[in-house]
Amino acid sequence: GAVVSQHPSWVICKSGTSVKIECRSLDFQATTMFWYRQFPKQSLMLMATSNEGSKATYEQGVEKDKFLINHASLTLSTLTVTSAHPEDSSFYICSARVANEQFFGPGTRLTVL
């Protein structure tokens, strides 16, 4: 299957700082990438759909000014958590779409102190 990477795999930051997470499709081009958030023992919650070269589409209740998404190329999408707070601590996972299948990255664990 297609390979999706994320960087960093984990990050710890102070409250008020911004954190950028990168999502790359390694062996294919992805016109559409997705960003999810997952709390412990819960399922994935879709945050936004990212299309290359256009603005991301955010799900209801997700603050677009807080979670900035940029999909600058066919192999890279970034999620920036701005002015992070402890309640933003979570597991963030990206995925990339290939035809009608979706492949996930390994996730990034964010801890905000």
Q: Which is nearer to another protein, 12 or 16 (CB)?
A: 12
Window 11-50: contact mask with another protein (x via CB under 8 A) = ---------------------x-x-------xxx-x--x-
Q: d(Cα 71, Cα 30) in Å, to the nearest integer?
A: 10
* Distance of closest approach, residue 22 Cβ to another protein, in angstroms: 14
The sign of the CA dihedral 78, 84, 85, 86 is positive
The single residue listed with the structure tokens 């960003």 is 35
Go through 51-64 and write b for each residue having 16 or more CB atoms within 10 A of its CB, e for each that does not: bbeeebebeeebee
How many residues sit in the footprint of another protein (CB under 8 A)?
Answer: 23
Residues making contact with another protein (CB under 8 A):
1, 4, 6, 32, 34, 42-44, 46, 49, 91, 93, 95, 97, 100-107, 109
